Every structure is written in C-alpha cells, then in structure tokens.
Amino acid sequence: MVTISVCVGSSCHIKGAPEVIEKFQKLISDYDLYNLVELKGVFCLERCTEGVTIDIDGNIYSAVNPDAAVDIFRERVLAPLGLTPKTGDDNDGQ
C-alpha cells in the first residue's frame, strides 16, 4: 500500500492543500486504486514556509500544487505499482 499524507495545517491549507487533496482523490478514483493507496491529512510536516507539503511513503515534497500532484502521482504511485498513465490523464483539473 502506498500512503499519501497531505499537510492540512493552517499554512498549507491557505496555500492550497484542499485542491491538492481533491486532485489526489480524483487520481485514486480514476485508477480505481482505493485498495492500494491511502490518502490522509496530517498536521504539520515542518515545512510551513515552502507551500503545501506531502509525504509519500517517507519521501517529502514541498510547494505541491494540483499540477505537481499529477506528476508526483505518476512517479511515486503509478510507476511503483507497474501502472502507466491513462490517455488524457493531464493537469486540467477535470
């Protein structure tokens, strides 16, 4: 199981954590990975000045926005699971 933890502390929330969470929720749904990916909110990953911060299985990423979330999902979730991005899987937020 891959665990994606998104900081939902006040600084990250203001900087876009809800949108990043929505993007990860959509990606998990699009790939039907409910049994393979755990998405959770956490408080403070101690990088408050760097923007939305996420942790994927111990790897920390800062300044994450919805577009970056797609790229990170492809690299850190799909690739390790042996999956390839679907046609039309882009950063349009739909």
Q: Is the pLDDT of residue 16 over 80?
A: yes
| pLDDT recorded at residue 92 | 46
Both tokens assigned to 34: 């409910």
| pLDDT recorded at residue 90 | 57
Arithmetic mean of pLDDT over the chain: 93
Both tokens assigned to 73: 């999902």
The confidence band for 84, taking pLDDT boundaries of 50, 70 and 90, is very high
- Going 14 to 18 to 23 to 27, the CA torsion angle's sign is positive
Mean local confidence (pLDDT), 20-42? 98
CA–CA gap between residue 33 and residue 37 (Å, rounded):
6
Mean local confidence (pLDDT), 41-69? 96
